[in-house]
Amino acid sequence: MPGTKMAGTEQSTQQNSGRSTEQILDPFATQMRHLTSALNVIASDMIRDRTLAKKLDDDPDYFRKNYTVTEEELKAMRDRNMIRLYELGLHPFLLVRFAGMMGILEYWQALGAPGRGGGWPRNA
């Protein structure tokens, strides 16, 4: 009806008419694509299945066969190179979880690094 406001959903549908769902979601999918990289998928899987952390050292071929991980990514994971993993796109949340699973936090504790827990002073 002329002169009346359309409901939000109806207006949105008219604005997007002629565009497929893929076209509408493409900007979001492009920006979030890094979250589905092999590094992020492996780290997510390790959170759910702790036996994968041991396989990283004992059976690296498992990752070559089951993930689309590059040799550079696999090397960074096996070397526990946190800086390189971040540069390669491992999400910061997953990076911290990966560090914990790989014993890196215990290493920092042994060095007396400041942090949280274990009787350490909290970071300011």
Q: Is residue 13 in some structural domain?
A: no
* Numbers of helices and strands, H then E, in the chain: 9, 0
Q: DSSP state, 38?
A: H
Q: How many domains does the chain have?
A: 1
Specify the DSSP element, H or E, that contains 46.
helix 38-48
CA distance 121 to 70: 39
- Dump pLDDT digits (tens) for 53-63: 889 989 999 99
Q: Is residue 9 in some structural domain?
A: no
Q: What is the pTM of this model?
A: 0.60
Task: Give residue 94's domain range.
Answer: 33-110
Q: DSSP state, 90?
A: -
Q: Is residue 41 in some structural domain?
A: yes
- Dump pLDDT digits (tens) for 63-111: 999 999 999 999 999 998 888 998 898 988 888 888 888 877 765 666 5
CA distance 99 to 21: 38
